[in-house]
A and B are shown apart, each in its own frame.
Chain A
Amino acid sequence: MSLRPKPRIATVSLGGCFGCHMSLLDMDEQLFELLDQVELDRSPLTDIKTLAPCDIGLIEGGLCNAENVHLLQEFRVRCRILVAVGACAINGGLPAQRNTRRLGDCLREVYQFRPGLVHGQIPNDPELPLLLDQVRPLHEVVQVDYSLPGCPPSGEALRKFISDLLAGHPPRLTDGLLHYD
């Protein structure tokens, strides 16, 4: 048995829908094989709230607000390899479809003028993270080492990608595993 510590993997969902994390769970029994090989650090799957130095950081979702940016920067500092997982992390995805509109117009449309609203107003609680004027993909803010496309990537694509990374070679998605949707 190797005395080397297991590689540590952290995951987070920023401006995403948790669909990519659902795909992680979609690995089914292969998730047990993965967990034999790695230690999960901060992740919605562990509910650990702090981030230790990790080997691999899997980031789902794009950057919609200031908190997303802070978290991404923390992951970049703590993770040796940072992977953008899914369409939103790679190109902003569905949330970035608001980029062709002005943020104020979007907020007014949804929170002020939507039919059926009573006393509509734009939320302004100081606890809420400030929205960015444009939704950004990860690589526009930090250096991203690898991208794993898909909306979401399949469980099998995630398994192949992570296995390649753990084996120490650049990940490839062959045999129909590469999809942008």
Chain B
Amino acid sequence: MTAPFDPRPPTEHQFLLDGRPVPFTEGQTILQAARAAGLYIPSLCWDPRFAPHGSCKLCVVKAAGRHVSACATQAREGWEVESSTPEINDMRRGLLQMLFVSGEHFCPGCEKSGHCKLQALGYEFEMLGPRFPHFHPQRPVDASHPELVLDLTRCVLCELCVRASREVDHTDVFGVEGRGIHKRLVVNAPSGQLADTPIAATDLAARICPVGAILPKGRGFAVPIGERPYDRATIRAPIPGEEDTP
């Protein structure tokens, strides 16, 4: 998305992120400005191509005495923003622990392992074990599509596929229905099956899933353990070939 043309010269402001000055222009969010300055604030549901979603809350920071989502909060002149503090990182670890027990995130059995943003965030924040009981959601697996498999037990409801299919692919394949514990990803077809939608494996919506909920068929565990992106790199660094996931 491009911003509408503004003939006025952009005014440079700055705020402090963990004590380091971060320049920003009017309207930029804390997360946008931090990433532009090469500083890391974690995120799972954020993607620079779409409007902020604010659902994963992993970008939580403390600004003006309040905990806010860095992806959805516009930066303000002179703010002293805290991000990488023991308190906030512990909150992030708690959020990750909730995400892990909310679905079937059993890494050894998932083809996304080693490429998975949720897993990589667990590594980044040194999440060693669980804090909450497992939910074991009863949700279907849709293997109807010839090229894709949709495992709703792994969906973290980041809605990246929803946004990609609506705004980039223009296919409106995915949506979300229900509220609270009943909220779930749905496929926009009378049958509810992926095979009855126009989605293709090359679509952004098919490639953008940060976890193992939407996977290509016929690939399996293609890269050996030890050579997968997050076996080597941290989620802080962009990984060549993995640009489609934020």
Binding site for B on A (CB under 8 A): 84, 87, 90-94, 96-97, 99-100, 134, 136-137, 139-140, 144, 146-149, 151, 171-174, 176, 178-181
Contacts and interface: CB of A to CB of B under 8 A. Distances in A.
Given A91-B134, A178-B126, A96 B106 contact: yes
Contacts of A99: 134, 136
Contacts, number: 75
User: For the complex, would chain B's binding face be called helix, strand, loop or mixed by DSSP majority?
Assistant: loop
A96 B123 CA distance: 23
A87 B107 CA distance: 8
A147 B130 contact: yes
A96 B130 CA distance: 15
Identify the 4 closest CB pairs spanning chains A and B, nearest first: A147-B129, A180-B107, A151-B108, A181-B108
A146 B109 CA distance: 23
A92 B100 CA distance: 13
A42 B59 CA distance: 45
Nearest to A19: B108
B106 A146 contact: no
B128 A151 contact: no
B128 A137 contact: no
Contacts of A139: 129-131
10 contacts: A91-B134, A96-B106, A96-B136, A99-B136, A100-B153, A146-B129, A147-B129, A148-B128, A174-B126, A181-B114
B89 interface: no
Interface of B: 100-101, 104-109, 113-114, 119, 122-123, 126, 128-131, 133-134, 136, 138, 153, 225, 231-232
Q: Most chain-A CB neighbours within 10 Å: which of B108, B126, B231?
A: B108
A15 to B, nearest CB: 14
Contacts of A134: 136
A171 B105 CA distance: 23
A90 B136 contact: no
B123 A178 contact: yes
B129 A144 contact: yes
Contacts of B136: 96, 99-100, 134
Contacts of A87: 106-108
Contacts of A144: 129
A172 B232 CA distance: 18
Contact of B129 (A90, A93, A97, A151): A90
